[in-house]
């Protein structure tokens, strides 16, 4: 099952991920990304992949585990 990963130190709060995939990404009061889920389904992967690639500092990845 695909697993969501985030580089919290790299995150700059640009928030494109939250806009593109609000069901899996959010942002906290300090402007740092919050992962709302640990895993996603293969079916929703393309949409989440595109959201992850909209991060200007490449802080988001999806891994197979």
Partner 1 sequence: MSRTVVVIGSSIGGVRTAQALRSEGFDGRVVLVGEESAMPYDKPPLSKQVLAGQWTPDRTELLSAEAAQRERIELRLGVAATRLDIAAKQVHLADGTRIDYDNAVIATGASARPSPWRPGSGVHVVRSLDDSLALRADLLRDGPVVVVGGGFIGAEAAATARGLGHEVTVVDPMPTPIGRVVGPEIGQYFTELHHRHGVTTRFGTGVEGIEGTAGDLRVRLTDGTELAAATVVVGIGAVPNDEWLADSGLPIENGVMCDEFCRALDAHDVFAIGDVARWYHPGHREYVRVEHWTNAVEQGVCAAHNIARPDDLRSYRPVEYVWSDQYDWKVQIVGRPTRGTRHEVVGGLTGVKPRAAVLYTDEDGHLLGVVTVNWPKALVQCRRLVTDHASFDEALERVTTLDASSPPRPPRPAVPAAPEALPAAPAAGGDHG
Binding site for partner 1 (CB under 8 A): 12-16, 18-19, 26-31, 46-47, 49-50, 53-54, 56
Q: What is the DSSP string of 25-64?
A: EEE-TTS-EEES-SB--TTTHHHHHHHHHT-TT--EEEEE
Please say which residue, 3 or 27, places its beta carbon nearer to partner 1.
Answer: 27
Please say which residue, 29 or 65, places its beta carbon nearer to partner 1.
Answer: 29
Q: How far is the CB of 58 from partner 1 (least distance, A)?
A: 8
């Amino acid at each position: 099952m695909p697993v969501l990963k985030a580089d919290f130190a790299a995150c700059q709060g640009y928030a494109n991920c939250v806009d593109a995939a609000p069901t899996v990404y959010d942002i906290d009061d300090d402007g740092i990304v919050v992962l709302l889920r640990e895993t996603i389904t293969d079916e929703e992967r393309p949409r989440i992949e595109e959201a992850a690639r909209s991060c200007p500092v490449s802080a988001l990845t999806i891994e197979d585990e």
